[in-house]
Amino acid sequence: MIPVEHFYYISAVLFSVGLAVVLTRKNAIMVLIGIELMLNASNLNFLASNTSEDPEGQFFALFVIVVAAAEAAVGLAIILKVYKYFKTIDLDKIAEIKD
């Protein structure tokens, strides 16, 4: 039996990687992927804390997967529009407020 702490460690590492991706990558799609990573880290966390007496973790994980799917759809649509408008999806270049 794998001790439950390992799931937490993996989850934390996965969240950190996701966060790092969100913060460092300039490509909007990569940022979206980072967000997906963070969502999956939280899923892992929910499932790890899930017990047979208390199955709330599973429900939340299902919600998160649904939300993630919706988020991916909306996010990709936004990115598509942003690309059409700015001709780039580099996050540093799509600022409208100048100095």
Q: Which residues of the chain form contacts with other proteins (CB under 8 A)?
A: 19, 22-24, 31, 91-92, 94-97, 99
Between CA 73 and CA 51 the distance in angstroms is 31
Q: Cα-Cα-Cα-Cα dihedral of 8, 41, 67, 35, to 10°? A: 150
Closer residue to other proteins, CB minimum distance, 15 or 61: 15
Helix (H, G, I), strand (E, B) or coil at 27: strand
Closest CA to 65 of 33, 48, 42: 42
Q: How far is the CB of 6 from other proteins (least distance, A)?
A: 24
Question: Whole-angstrom distance between the N-terminal and C-terminal Cα of the chain?
Answer: 57
Closer residue to other proteins, CB minimum distance, 5 or 99: 99
Q: How far is the CB of 53 from other proteins (least distance, A)?
A: 29
Q: How far is the CB of 40 from other proteins (least distance, A)?
A: 18
Closer residue to other proteins, CB minimum distance, 72 or 91: 91
